[in-house]
Structure 1
């Protein structure tokens, strides 16, 4: 189910962006989130379960959304004629607040679930832990890695098209 959901997200983005490279850049944020989730599960001594995998599927959607916001705004600036490097830096500074707000509201919303309040908390807590740690790590790393990958692949595609 996890692989299928990631594939479907990629296909939808490829059709929306009319590119195979830009969805790859966006999907590069997903492993960054998984690293944070695994570290969170290790730190809290939480074992893997079906509920954790449901949380990871939810995490993919949120992380991809944050990366889409960044890449889409960079594309908009590029369409306006702004140089690639300047467009990336501007997109990061302009879209920083919406990305941080999305992460903060989701993390704060899941915090009571992660703490384990209420009946059935032992079932919901692992999902919240996976999502919270994954979101925190991916938000920080997405703001660094996604623009870097965008810039590197943009240069690579330009160099390839210039030589052919």
Structure 2
């Protein structure tokens, strides 16, 4: 009866037939040594792109790489959420919406350093590097917080904006550099890839070290500039509101209590009678 529906003979064949989406599939697996998975996956994709596959044949990556792609997408959301939460905490601390905005400019500075460090070390952006970026979003703002807080304290004592920025930079430079150096030195063994499984942990350390180092240097230059620009705009807006209030109350009338510059402590200009 079997011969009526099949051609029976002895021959070699596969022990199992794998299917993906009801289509036959062949699985090729391998181990990684000395390199991170992201870099190897990028090389495999380039090798596949160079091949001319027959009609109906599709090649792609699966397994851990597929799981990493899904994790990568979820970590993007985690990164934006971390940035928002950091901003929210600083807004409560400074009791202002402008000061945290100035501090958050350190985040793109850290991203620049993180990308440069990954490029210089020949590493790709993978899930571990993204975890480092999420950590970096919370670490990199501390230097700007220290600097802006010192500027605000000096301005509350009556110091002018430019002088307060200079004095705050001089007073806080040493603590900023020391805390940054200790963090970098603590992550250095991990970045060097020492020990078993180091190729998995190294991208995290490289991301944090590069981002923190570049952001620290640029913070001392860029943050005072951003602070000055936003302070001028905020002061002009507050001065215009105060002038309109005084004119509405009559020439020479005092402005309502609480009207003043948004970022500094300097008095508002008097309105000519």
Q: TM-score, normalised by structure 1?
A: 0.97
Equivalent in the alignment of 1:163: 240
Equivalent in the alignment of 1:98: 175
The structure whose Rg is larger is: 2
The Cα offsets for residues 131-158 of structure 1, whole Å up to 9 and x where unpaired, read as 1111111011011001111111111111
Does structure 1 retain, via aligned residues, the 8 Å contact 2:79–2:137?
Answer: no
Q: Where in structure 2 are the equivalents of 1:117-156 lying within 5 Å? A: 117-156=194-233
How big is the shift at 1:57?
Answer: 1.6
> Is 2:165 aligned against 1:88?
yes
Q: Which runs of 5+ in 2 are unaligned?
A: 1-77, 242-273
Equivalent in the alignment of 2:152: 75
Look up the SS of the partner of 2:158 in the other structure. Answer: coil
RMSD of aligned alpha carbons: 0.9
Q: Per residue, is there more helix in 1 or in 2?
A: 1
User: What number of residue pairs does the alignment pair up?
Assistant: 164
Equivalent in the alignment of 2:85: 8
How big is the shift at 1:15?
Answer: 1.2
In the alignment, the residues of structure 2 paired with residue 130 and residue 45 of structure 1 have an alpha-carbon distance, to the nearest angstrom, of: 12
Q: TM-score, normalised by structure 2?
A: 0.59
How big is the shift at 1:163?
Answer: 2.0
Q: Which runs of 5+ in 1 are unaligned?
A: none
